Structure 1
Amino acid sequence: MKTDKLEELFRDLEHEFDIEIPEIGHQQRFFDKLNSVNKKENAKAPKRKSFTVILSIAASIIVFFGLFIFLQNKMEVNDLASVSPELSQTQDFFTTAISSELNKIKAQRNPENEILISDALKQMELLEKNYERLKLDLKASGKDKRVIYAMISNFQSRIDILENVLKSIENLKEFKQSEQTQMTL
């Protein structure tokens, strides 16, 4: 059945096949044209390659220059540590205290105090964003003392929030315990 369809196809296309023999020298003319096209492409190729090499080198230089400027600006972090060694110690103290308090809070996290802790973490995020703005202000103001005091105040506010949350968690625990003892009496 398949051969019947194939034979039928050849019968339908029988008069459309190119069965004429090309003129003498056809093959040589074809190769001559092919060689002339190849020669033209070869003559143009080195010019393109040299132009693309120059462009790629120029693009690389521009990219490296831009990257250098970007990284240099990134490396200039203006925070308390960049002002003086004393303020660097102050910043280290605050960041250590904050991370310690955060670890205490995370260790006591449970469904009963989840809302309290999540609210405190949202406030911490807002203070962190404010601190990032203060770092930009410090750079712009040339290390103005008011900005430095605001940065220290920001750290103190974070610690105060965390201490208040820990106190609230302890109060909540004591309330639960007193409630349980009253129910058992």
Structure 2
Amino acid sequence: MKNNTDIDNLFKELKGSFDTQEPSTTHTANFIEKLNATKKTPKKFSWKPFAIAASIAFLCAIGFTLFYQKQTTNEQIAEIAPEVNETKFYFASLINTQVNELKKETSPSTKKIIDDTLIQLNKLESDYKKLEKNLLNGGNTKLILSAIITNYQTRIDLIKDVMAQIDTIKNLKKYNDENSTL
């Protein structure tokens, strides 16, 4: 009830200050003219919302790539079988050392055998890559690990055999050179 009396008092105080005049006869026409004038003026296109949306999309894309990067083959293999990385490191360093020694032995008489050996080593390396893929695709882990070790051992044996053949070639050449000088 108190609210009603407050409202009544407010109206009594404002009595006589209300605009009670009727609008002019041209008021409606003026209003429609102004309304049509605003429709004719082209609105300015704002790129701001699109720039903000593009920035957010760009940041989301960067965040997605940073957090969901695909693991490398070595990282995936390390998760499946950590001993493969240790084996790979050991054998790879040993094989690289022996290949460098093999390349140092290149001469006209050994060039063909060394080139053939490097081709065979490349084939064994591609076989190794296939074994890695099989391991990642869920093949028999123990069997594949055994094949990987056999692959490395085959490479080492191949290099040792070729080095022995190169030593034989050198010794024969040395022997022939000694006999021909007499």
TM surpasses 0.5: yes
> How far off is 1:142 after superposition?
5.9
* Pair 1:165–1:72, CA change in 2 (3 A): same
Out of 118, 139, 142, the position equivalent to 2:115 is 118
* Pair 1:74–1:161, CA change in 2 (3 A): closer
Residue of structure 2 equivalent to 1:106:
103
* Pair 1:82–1:107, CA change in 2 (3 A): farther
* Structure 2 residue identity aligned to 1:127: L
Asked if the contact 1:101/1:162 (under 8 Å) is kept, the reply is yes
Asked if the contact 1:105/1:166 (under 8 Å) is kept, the reply is yes
Out of 152, 155, 159, the position equivalent to 2:149 is 152
* Pair 1:96–1:74, CA change in 2 (3 A): closer
* Structure 2 residue identity aligned to 1:117: I
1:173 aligns with 2:170: yes
> How far off is 1:66 after superposition?
3.7
Residue of structure 2 equivalent to 1:183:
180
> How far off is 1:53 after superposition?
2.9
Out of 88, 92, 104, the position equivalent to 2:89 is 92
Alignment TM-score, normalising by the size of structure 1: 0.64
Residue of structure 1 equivalent to 2:130:
133
Relative to total residues, which structure has the larger helix share, 1 or 2?
1
* Structure 2 residue identity aligned to 1:62: A
* Pair 1:110–1:77, CA change in 2 (3 A): farther
Please list every run of at least 4 consecutive aligned residues from structure 1 whose deviation after the TM superposition is greater than 6 angstroms. none
* Pair 1:76–1:88, CA change in 2 (3 A): closer
> Which structure has the larger Rg?
2
Structure 2 gaps of 5+ residues are 1-40
Deviation sequence 1:143-180 (CA, Å, 0-9, x none): 61100100001101110111111111111101111111
Larger deviation, residues 49-58 vs 119-128: 49-58
Residue of structure 1 equivalent to 2:81:
83
Alignment TM-score, normalising by the size of structure 2: 0.65
Asked if the contact 1:137/1:147 (under 8 Å) is kept, the reply is yes
Structure 1 gaps of 5+ residues are 1-38
- Backbone CA RMSD of aligned residues: 2.7
Q: Matched residue pairs, number?
A: 142
Percentage of matched positions with identical amino acids: 28
Asked if the contact 2:74/2:85 (under 8 Å) is kept, the reply is no
